[in-house]
Amino acid sequence: MIKKALGRSNVQTKKITCFFCSIFFLLFFISSANAQTGAIRGKITDSLEAPLPGVSVTVKGTKIGTSTNASGEFTLNNVPARSTIVVSYVGLATQELTLSAGQTTLNLTMHPDVTDMQDVVVTGFQRIDKKKFTGAAVTLKASDVKIDGVIDVSRMLEGRAAGVSVQNVSSTFGAAPKVRIRGATSINGENKPLWVVDGVVLEDIVNISNDQLSSGDPTTLLGSSVAGINANDIETFDILKDAAATALYGARAMNGVVVITTKKGRSGKLNIAYTGNFSTQLKPYYGEYNIMNSAQQMSVLGELERKGILNSDILSNPNYGVYGKMFDLISKPDANGNFIVINETESKAAFLKKYALANTDWFDILFQNSLVQEHSLSISGGSEKSQSFFSTSFYNDGGWTIADNVKRFTLNFRNNYNFSDRLTAGFLTVGSVRQQKAPGALSRVSNPVSGQFDRDFDINPFSYALNTSRTVTPYDENGELEYFRRNFAPFNIIDELRNNRLSIDVLDLKLQGELGYKITPHLRYEFIGALRYVKSTREHEITENANMANAYRANDNATIASRNKFLYTDPDNPSAPPVVVLPFGGFYNRTEDKLISYDIRNSLNYTNTFAEKHLVTVLLGQQVKSADRQNFSNTGYGYQYDNGGIPFVDYRILKQTIESNFIYYGMGKEYDRFAAYYLNTQYTYNGKYNLYGTVRYDGSNKLGSSREARWLPTWSFGGAWNMEEEPFLQDVWWVDQLKLRASYGLTASLGPATNTGVVLRSLTTNRTFPLERESVIQIANLENSDLTWEKNYQTNIGLDAGLFKGRVNMSLDVYQRKSFDLISLIKTGGIGGEPIKAANYADMDAHGGELLLSGRIFQKRDWGWRSTITFGYSTTKITNAKNQPIIFDLVKAEGGNTVGYPVNSLFSIRYNGLEHTTGVPTFVNEKGEVSPNVYLQDQNISNLVFEGPVDPKFNGGFSNTFNYKNFSLNIFLTYQAGNKIRLYPAFRTSYSDFDAMPKEFLDRWAMLNDEQVTTIPSVLEAYYRYLVNASGASPYNNYNYSTARVADGGFVRLKTVSLTYTFSQSLLKKFGLNSLSVTGVAANPWLIYADPKLKGQDPEFFNTGGVAQPIQKQFTLSIKAGL
């Protein structure tokens, strides 16, 4: 197979053909002359000594062949003496045996084909013999890393490859994990690796920035570019890490490359494989978290009442829970004129007691143990002339919460044709359809004024369960939905989740064609072309019954009207009371993203061996790539879901949006054009010394209209020394293989700036009166003729070893990376008209190391234990950047960037204890003074405390596989360390009776001198709250961003435990099956260690509301059958 890919051939040019013909003829003649033929019988078994049916047994160089029967037995007739017998079976190592004279029986044990994957690195451009490869790359076999029941293939890499960090910032279907290969390379640009599937770059549907990834915004559901890939179709992952490995991706390769190779059909018997996964996910439960129960919560509410915070005034607040309901009932009689609650202590206490005992289990109400099913079927087979692979799958997740579910269908159809010995072709059709429902969510808005991220109408079930008081009840005593108040309108989460939903539809289709033509035995032409079309639609349906729609109609009294920000005040009549502008209906908001991309590549590949010692391979090629993206969004007002779908639009709601200069629909296009030329040369001397060099010349339109900046040459070279070939290691029995390799090169990536020419944007002016507004054009960015790509020089030194006769494999890499020309912001004098420019001037250093160690600890006939450990270390430091971050940029959970610190560093405001008289937290503020007030927009960051990077410095995994007879048990742990996490922002200046409080509040400051024993701030009395609010300070919010609210990010997680039983062949025979195995998998069952300060908060998860969900504990039963 390797030979074929490298273009070495068994087909000759005319002259040589003639020559060889005569030799063949001669050989044939000789063998015919010896024509003693006979029958050979035998039995083929697997390593467990079970018979293997369907094994192909052929005589090399002839057409004689057969396959084994159900008992693994075969008979071959008319076999020439001393022939070579070839025994092959998919997934097992092919063996060749030359018959000894007079031999008539052949019994053979076949072993799994491990060499097949270990020996080749697939770069997407080439398949390179691993022995000759000089770069740092990891090849993972999908069947080894696949976690049954986990749908997103990018999550399978976690802990499997040293140097690859995968952080599950959200685990909602479609949301991408934060994947970093050797850490960050860019300060403001993207840091995610390039995904390549079957030689074609997989473009993202939407570009999601580093910070957006963890935002919980609905767009993140399109973040995972691999969400449409059926994990069962994948053969291997190749993770390319250093400059030599990624060189052929040139100016896109700075962040590393993950190459996915999908399965192909093979000639031979038709194979039908079915995989069925049946999973269920555990509901979260309060025991894991740190939330007050309803009795504890009610006692705090009692304190709030005594402190004058909970009184009948809360009826004018946007949100209320139990107390609000009580005051409402006191103030209003029911239909019969009776008061359900009267304003007397006894009556009130009776009312409250009911809720104090409620202990609502929101997790139980909003989450479910649903069944997740995944069925995948593949059929493959073919002849010498054509091979096909077909697969289809269906995935159905009924939803971990009551608000979400996913269906996904995939199709993969791949045909390869060998028209002649010279001409080959392949065609792929890959498609997927996704239908997903999620709770209605809006994008969050960063508010540096108060230091919060605001998201209106957030109904994320997970954050709702964590944040809603357990005194609030979903049903009343009659079993009817019970409503409290949010946004001045009645609110019940169950009702809201029914009436406020996101529907996401994604259609993803890829057509790919490949052509190969052998021009001479040494020269091969290859073409690969792919077209991909992705269309996604996101519908946000907010019915007229949704709280979000009713909030627009909350107009109960003048106080509410004046406070309700969803009502409208006519600017021409500012003193008139605000009015309702959405009298009927809800909203129908639609967002569409479209991607059309193509990728065409032509290449010539030359391979030749000179003097039997000098192996030369040259690859020359050209590539053209394009991706056009379109985004459309529209806000539809007044859609009446219950009334025939007729919109009712009050003109004033449009007037309101126009007057506030909000654009109620929009469309944007992006065009990505890419062209490149590349040349790669490999040279091997005597199988020992390898040299590898690549030059690539890339052109892109992304930098803007300037012609000079558009092109960039990148290059790399490397060398490898196969030391085991040296005489001095020939006799060392315990060294099977030892390779030292080194590489150096320049890689690049496009930064976020696009202004090689001036960038002009249209906008509508912000003027008070609509009639005075006009459409103007603004200089968004001045021309920067110095703009170029972000680049880095990478040095990598690695050592690969195979020791003790295949028992131990080791791979060690150390690297250093100097990034330069990184885009960062700099404050210029502003004389050109752009005070803060983004330009290529920043530098960053990174270094790290990786270790992979795997081995068979013991292997007996029935017993076996294999173990793999991966370890990665990476650290970055920004050595030059002149951006001026404000405090808020650095203290937020995602971290920020400033010179002298790692990329995405987390800083904190220095906490300085609680105030003696009020229990209000104090800090060292931006001026260096002790104060409850910190101005989060200040640029003086010198008083902040550096906590650590947000990205882990260390990460890896530890996998152990035990097998006993037909059982196989895998225990897989992952770990990370060296990073810091901002704790959940639990503290607020004021709390309503709707809010849940963490149990820390039980230790809060309650009286004078408590500050000496606790760091938990007080719940403010009404008067102090007034003072704090009046002073403009937000000490409670500052507390969330202080040194008191940081935890260590290190953890050890039991990622999976899986137990597989493989049915023995003898049993399967009865059912006509080839193979059958049953696997039980527990995914993420146990977080073994995490910082105790987290108190249940998942160290990977960013609880940002919206559509974000933490990773679930999932149990899967997987059945795999082959026919």
Partner 1 sequence: MKRIFLYASCCLLFTAGVGCKKYLEKEPDNRAQVNTPEKVSQLLGTAYPQANYQAFAETMSDNVADIGYDIGGSAGNVIHDPFFFIDTKENEQDSPEFYWYGCYSAIAAANQALQTITKASNPADYSAQKGEALVARAYAHFMLVNFFSKFYDASTAASSPGIPYVTEPENVFIKQYDRKTVQYVYEMIEKDLLEGIPLIQDKVYTVPKYHFNKAAAYAFAARFYLFKKEYDKVIQYANLAIPGNNFAANLRGWNTDYKNITDVTELFKIYAKATENANLLLVETSSLWSRYYYTSRYGLDDDKQSSIFPRPDPLTGGNFAYALYSLGGDHKLVPKINEYFVKVSVNAEIGLPYVMVPLFTVEEVLFNRAEAYAYTNNYAASITDLNTFASKRINNYSPSAHNITEARINSVFGTSNTRDGLIAAILYYKRAEFVHEGMRWFDLLRYKMPVKHSTSPDASGNVTVLAELTADDPRKVLQIPPSTELAGLPQNPR
Q: Which of residues 642-701 bind partner 1 (CB under 8 A)?
A: 656-657, 660-662, 664, 668-673, 675, 677, 699-701
Q: Locate tokens 């007002």: which residue?
A: 637
The site that binds partner 1 (CB under 8 A) totals a number of residues, namely 87
Stretch that binds partner 1, among 145-153, 426-434, 444-452, 891-899 (CB under 8 A): 444-452
Q: Of 37 and 764, which CB lies nearer to partner 1 in the complex structure?
A: 764
One residue of 348, 532, 538, 710 binding partner 1 per CB under 8 A? 710
One residue of 102, 287, 479, 829 binding partner 1 per CB under 8 A? 829
Considering only residues 738 to 767 of the shown chain, the ones binding partner 1 according to CB under 8 A are 754, 758-762, 765-767
Considering only residues 152 to 181 of the shown chain, the ones binding partner 1 according to CB under 8 A are none
The least distance separating partner 1 from the CB of residue 698, rounded to whole angstroms, comes to: 10
For residue 214, give the nearest of 243, 241, 192, 239 by alpha carbon: 192
Q: How far is Cα 925 from Cα 923, in angstroms, rounded to an integer? A: 6
The least distance separating partner 1 from the CB of residue 832, rounded to whole angstroms, comes to: 3
Q: How far is Cα 809 from Cα 103, in angstroms, rounded to an integer? A: 37
One residue of 270, 357, 776, 1088 binding partner 1 per CB under 8 A? 776
For residue 121, give the nearest of 257, 223, 284, 297 by alpha carbon: 257
Give the chain's length. 1123
- CB-based burial, 704-736: b 16+ in 10 Å, e otherwise: beeeebbbbebbbbbbbbbbbbeeeeeeeeebb
What is the secondary structure of 214-254 as a DSSP string?
GS--GGGGG--TTTTS-GGGEEEEEEE-SHHHHGGGGGG-T
Q: How far is Cα 933 from Cα 845, in angstroms, rounded to an integer? A: 36
517 near partner 1 (CB under 8 A): yes
Q: Of 327 and 935, which CB lies nearer to partner 1 in the complex structure?
A: 935
The least distance separating partner 1 from the CB of residue 172, rounded to whole angstroms, comes to: 23
Q: Of 336 and 762, which CB lies nearer to partner 1 in the complex structure?
A: 762
832 near partner 1 (CB under 8 A): yes
Binding mask 1029-1058 for partner 1 (x = CB under 8 A): --x---------------------------
449 near partner 1 (CB under 8 A): yes
604 near partner 1 (CB under 8 A): yes
The least distance separating partner 1 from the CB of residue 240, rounded to whole angstroms, comes to: 25
The least distance separating partner 1 from the CB of residue 81, rounded to whole angstroms, comes to: 40
Q: Dihedral, CA atoms, 376, 382, 387, 389, nearest 10 degrees?
A: 0
Q: Report yes or no: 759 and 780 within 8 Å, Cβ to Cβ.
A: yes
The least distance separating partner 1 from the CB of residue 468, rounded to whole angstroms, comes to: 21
The least distance separating partner 1 from the CB of residue 940, rounded to whole angstroms, comes to: 9
839 near partner 1 (CB under 8 A): yes
Query: What is the CB neighbour count within 10 angstroms for residue 1086?
Result: 13
Instruction: Quote the distance between the C-alpha of residue 436 and its chain's center.
Output: 17
Stretch that binds partner 1, among 172-180, 326-334, 835-843, 1006-1014 (CB under 8 A): 835-843
Q: How far is Cα 925 from Cα 835, in angstroms, rounded to an integer? A: 27
Q: Of 476 and 786, which CB lies nearer to partner 1 in the complex structure?
A: 786
Q: What are phi and psi of 57, to 5 degrees?
A: -125, 115
Q: Of 275 and 756, which CB lies nearer to partner 1 in the complex structure?
A: 756
Stretch that binds partner 1, among 199-207, 827-835, 861-869, 960-968 (CB under 8 A): 827-835
769 near partner 1 (CB under 8 A): yes
Stretch that binds partner 1, among 48-56, 361-369, 728-736, 775-783 (CB under 8 A): 775-783
The least distance separating partner 1 from the CB of residue 524, rounded to whole angstroms, comes to: 10
DSSP H or E segment with residue 505: strand 500-520
Query: What is the CB neighbour count within 10 angstroms for residue 1009?
Result: 8
937 near partner 1 (CB under 8 A): yes
Q: Dihedral, CA atoms, 13, 19, 23, 24, nearest 10 degrees?
A: 30
- Cβ-based neighbours of 910, under 8 Å, separated by 6 or more: 923, 924, 943, 944, 945, 1042, 1043
User: Cα dist. 607→7, 109, 520, 618 in Å?
Assistant: 6, 35, 10, 6
What is the secondary structure of 990-1059 as a DSSP string?
---TTB--BGGGGGS--STTGGGT--SPPPPPHHHHHHHHHTT--HHHHHHTBGGGEEE--EEEEEEEEE
456 near partner 1 (CB under 8 A): yes
Considering only residues 946 to 965 of the shown chain, the ones binding partner 1 according to CB under 8 A are none
One residue of 586, 704, 718, 802 binding partner 1 per CB under 8 A? 704
Q: Of 343 and 661, which CB lies nearer to partner 1 in the complex structure?
A: 661
One residue of 525, 632, 1061, 1063 binding partner 1 per CB under 8 A? 525
Q: Of 348 and 524, which CB lies nearer to partner 1 in the complex structure?
A: 524
Record the tokens describing residue 624, joined without a space: 């053209």
One residue of 702, 739, 741, 982 binding partner 1 per CB under 8 A? 702
The least distance separating partner 1 from the CB of residue 1081, rounded to whole angstroms, comes to: 43
DSSP H or E segment with residue 145: helix 142-145
Considering only residues 529 to 588 of the shown chain, the ones binding partner 1 according to CB under 8 A are 565-566, 571, 574-575
User: Cα dist. 878→346, 383, 827, 1103 in Å?
Assistant: 65, 57, 17, 28
Stretch that binds partner 1, among 282-290, 825-833, 864-872, 994-1002 (CB under 8 A): 825-833
773 near partner 1 (CB under 8 A): yes
Q: How far is Cα 850 from Cα 354, in angstroms, rounded to an integer? A: 59
The least distance separating partner 1 from the CB of residue 627, rounded to whole angstroms, comes to: 11
The least distance separating partner 1 from the CB of residue 649, rounded to whole angstroms, comes to: 15
785 near partner 1 (CB under 8 A): yes
Q: Report yes or no: 226 and 198 within 8 Å, Cβ to Cβ.
A: no
One residue of 827, 965, 999, 1093 binding partner 1 per CB under 8 A? 827
Q: What are phi and psi of 75, to 5 degrees?
A: -135, 130
Q: How far is Cα 250 from Cα 815, in angstroms, rounded to an integer? A: 19
Sign of CA dihedral 239, 245, 250, 256: positive
- Cβ-based neighbours of 560, under 8 Å, separated by 6 or more: 316, 488, 554
The least distance separating partner 1 from the CB of residue 449, rounded to whole angstroms, comes to: 6
Stretch that binds partner 1, among 90-98, 99-107, 777-785, 1001-1009 (CB under 8 A): 777-785
Q: Of 629 and 1004, which CB lies nearer to partner 1 in the complex structure?
A: 629
